Amino acid sequence: MKALKIGVSALALTLIAGGSAMAAEATGTATATIKAPISVANASALDFGTIISPAADATETGSISFDVSGEAQATYTLSVMDIDLENAAGDTMALTFQSADQGTRTIGGTAPGSHTDVGVSVGATLAIGANQASGTYEGDYTVTVNY
């Protein structure tokens, strides 16, 4: 019986040790691409000036301009969130940004590294209600750029 236990133990050790003889290896390649950080800066204010309150609903158009800096020839998306402008009394007017001016773009430049696209424009439309209440209307819009 003792010989049988030793034989079984030896067989178990052989099977465990034999597993390493069946090992296989594979190799792979790891890569990383570093891009210049992307940023956006306001290049022009959006000022519709003085508007006379209309008798019927009306609109005024304008545009905003940004400077976008990032990796030359990199593709990025630009978006601007629509907002309401509000006066001190709480009256509002809707400000919408043209979707055709937003979306995917490519940063200029040819050399690797950072490049700035100056004057990226987005059109805007201000909706003015009939007999819109007087006052100075303001609101903050957010421009987002992402690779």
Q: Say which CATH number the domain at 90 has.
A: 2.60.40.1090
What is d(CA 127, CA 91) in angstroms, rounded to the nearest whole number? 13
Indicate whether 21 belongs to any domain: no
Indicate whether 7 belongs to any domain: no
pTM reported for the whole predicted model: 0.75
Identity of the highest mean pLDDT range in 32-36, 41-45, 91-95: 91-95
Indicate whether 61 belongs to any domain: yes
Query: Residue 55 belongs to what domain range?
Result: 39-146
Indicate whether 13 belongs to any domain: no
Indicate whether 85 belongs to any domain: yes
pLDDT at 70: 93
Indicate whether 78 belongs to any domain: yes
Say if residue 4's pLDDT is above 70.
no
Residue in the block written with tokens 């079984």: 8
Give the mean model confidence (pLDDT) for residues 82-96.
98
Q: By mean pLDDT, which of 15-19, 50-54, 119-123 is the weakest?
A: 15-19
Q: What is the chain's mean pLDDT, rounded?
A: 88
Element (H, E) at 41: strand 39-42
What is d(CA 9, CA 72) in angstroms, rounded to the nearest whole number? 67
Residue in the block written with tokens 């043209």: 98
Indicate whether 32 belongs to any domain: no
Indicate whether 141 belongs to any domain: yes
The count of structural domains within the chain is: 1
| Rg for the chain, CA atoms, rounded | 32
Say if residue 115's pLDDT is above 60.
yes
Give the mean model confidence (pLDDT) for residues 31-38.
92
CA distances from 123 to 45, 133, 136, 142 (A): 12, 25, 21, 14
